[in-house]
Amino acid sequence: MIINKKLFRIVAFGVCIVLTAYMILTLVITSSYSVLSADDFSIGIIDKNTRGIQYLVAACDEVKHFYLNWQGTYSQIFIQSLLTPINHYGLAQLRWVMVFNSGCFFISLLFFIFNVIKIHKYKMDAIMMVVITSVVFSICGYETYPEIFFWFSGTTGYSIPFSMLMIGTVLYLKLDDVKQQKNKTIVAIILGFIAMGGSLTVAGTGCYFALIVLLYEMCCNRNVSKKKLLVFLCWLIGALVNALAPGNFVRHSSIDNTGIHIGKAITNSILITQDRWSTLLGYNFLLVLLVITVCGFVSSPRNKVSKKKALFSLMGLGTPFVTSFPLALGTETIVAPNRAAWVIDLVIILSSCYAAFLIGVYISNIIDKRRGFIIAIAVVLAFVICKYDGYGLSDFKTLELTTLGRQNVFKAHYNAHVRFYEWCMSQPGEDIVVTPEHCPYGIDNVFNLYLSNDPNSWVNKCVADYCGVKSIMTDYD
């Protein structure tokens, strides 16, 4: 019986590793077929003959221009200026940048999860692998998030800063005043400052999380780590540098010139958070939370979960609201665009999975008997959820991407864009009219190039500049 139990855990561990690798690699490989679109043609555009120090100076000038006139995301503009394929090697470079982006994100995510497990002194066993696979499934299995994994501008403003935030957060959590950790503190500050210069949804998430950790230490230890406090203040300064940019107010005035409405932003933040929760629960995320709660219940922690830790984990569930607030304040929307929805969904997934696991552990701590009965109830609930949640194998996004990849849908879509730019660049200085025959078609699950029949639209003008033609327009709506 002991041998069978041990074998089962080994098999479960292996299956989870295979499933996790499958989901991650599928998305990384598919993202390599990303194409240029929208802001990719207009942000960070620097003369191709500029090199070395002059290029860095030009990138800083680009940051200054956007900071004063459109948005405060200093990291996004600088990173986009450095890495933009428009200034260098076009679609060929874009492929490598997008693979780096998706790969960096998942490496950072796994680094974050592994270290949280280590900090809480749990064994890296089959149960923990089930938790990790469940988290990755929640990110990969429902939506492809085209504006994150298939759009260069979304990469520089959202996913790269969030990746930096997760690595910086791990370093932040490990800081204490007993050990000499000068280098670790400096790196945490730098990574966090980079993250704070991305989308304000990322900045708000980082500052709120760091604050919760400080409050938890204050509540439990009656003091606060000076190193953690220093890092938090540096992150907060970075977030304020971003938020108070003159460009943010210029941009907001183009949406609503009557001023900033904090009360309305609070209401809209609630609505955005509710919408993203509803979207996730519309898949089978409730089942994922149940599975993770059971994992917490059957795990063998070295230390018990206190009421304080459980309470602060519930406070973490407020993070999606904080994440949504800058978006609601700046745009007055009640529906998050895909790139912002990714950040909110990611925060919901991480915070709720963490809370679910600790709740499971806490229940295990207070219940000594009838543990089998509790697990039986959980199994019944799982079957009920599976029957009525409406999520089936055909809804599994990774499987859909695999099928389309085998049919060369993404490769053909990418190659169509390569031919399109070659066709445009073969007509320098001309007024180009694009027919359906030449225009790359749009497909689902990725971010597409959109042109209009107005040659003076900003996208058309930027594409024309990139291709070296006088103007470009479509002959269809």
Can you spell out the DSSP letters for 112-159? HHHHHHHHTT---SHHHHHHHHHHHHHHHSS---HHHHS-HHHIIIII
314: which 2 tokens? Answer: 């519930």
Clarify whether residues 195 and 343 are in a common domain: yes
pLDDT of residue 3: 56
Output helix, strand, coil percentages for the chain, rounded to the nearest 5: 75, 0, 25
User: Who's near 104: CB < 8 A, 6+ residues apart?
Assistant: 159, 160, 163
Domain housing 449: 408-474
Count of structural domains within the chain:
2
SS3 176: coil
Angle at 290 (CA atoms; ends 284, 295), nearest 5 degrees? 130
Give the integer Cα–Cα distance in Å for 159 and 146.
12
pLDDT of residue 53: 92
- Domain boundary among the residues 403, 433, 456 is at 403
Angle at 12 (CA atoms; ends 291, 314), nearest 5 degrees? 25
- What DSSP assignment string belongs to 321-377? HHHHHHHHHHH--SS--HHHHHHHHHHHHHHHHHHHHHHHHHHHHH--S-HHHHHHH
Clarify whether residues 9 and 146 are in a common domain: yes
Clarify whether residues 434 and 285 are in a common domain: no
- Domain boundary among the residues 373, 403, 433 is at 403
Would you say 204 and 326 are in contact if contact means Cβ atoms under 8 Å apart?
yes
Clarify whether residues 456 and 365 are in a common domain: no
Q: What is the mean pLDDT of each run of 10 residues along the chain (477 residues)?
A: 72 93 97 94 87 92 94 95 92 96 97 92 86 96 95 96 97 84 93 96 96 89 87 97 94 82 94 96 93 87 68 87 95 93 97 92 79 77 78 90 96 94 93 87 89 92 94 86
pLDDT of residue 303: 60
Clarify whether residues 328 and 445 are in a common domain: no
432 has which bridge partners?
Answer: 472
Give the integer Cα–Cα distance in Å for 144 and 398.
8
In terms of DSSP bridges, do strands 471-474 and 431-434 run parallel, antiparallel, or are they unpaired? parallel
From the number of C-beta atoms within 10 Å of its C-beta (0-12, 13-18, 19+), residue 418 rates as middle
Clarify whether residues 338 and 452 are in a common domain: no
Would you say 427 and 408 are in contact if contact means Cβ atoms under 8 Å apart?
no
Give the integer Cα–Cα distance in Å for 261 and 329.
7
pLDDT of residue 392: 83
Element (H, E) at 472: strand 471-474
- Reference 398, options 126, 147, 136; nearest CA is 136
Clarify whether residues 429 and 282 are in a common domain: no
329 has which bridge partners?
Answer: none
The model's pTM is 0.94
Clarify whether residues 332 and 434 are in a common domain: no
Give the integer Cα–Cα distance in Å for 419 and 438.
8
| Residue tagged 């606060």 (tokens) | 224
Clarify whether residues 341 and 448 are in a common domain: no
Clarify whether residues 133 and 278 are in a common domain: yes
- Domain boundary among the residues 403, 434, 466 is at 403
pLDDT of residue 224: 83
Clarify whether residues 223 and 357 are in a common domain: yes
User: Who's near 117: CB < 8 A, 6+ residues apart?
Assistant: 124, 128
Would you say 144 and 151 are in contact if contact means Cβ atoms under 8 Å apart?
no
Clarify whether residues 342 and 424 are in a common domain: no
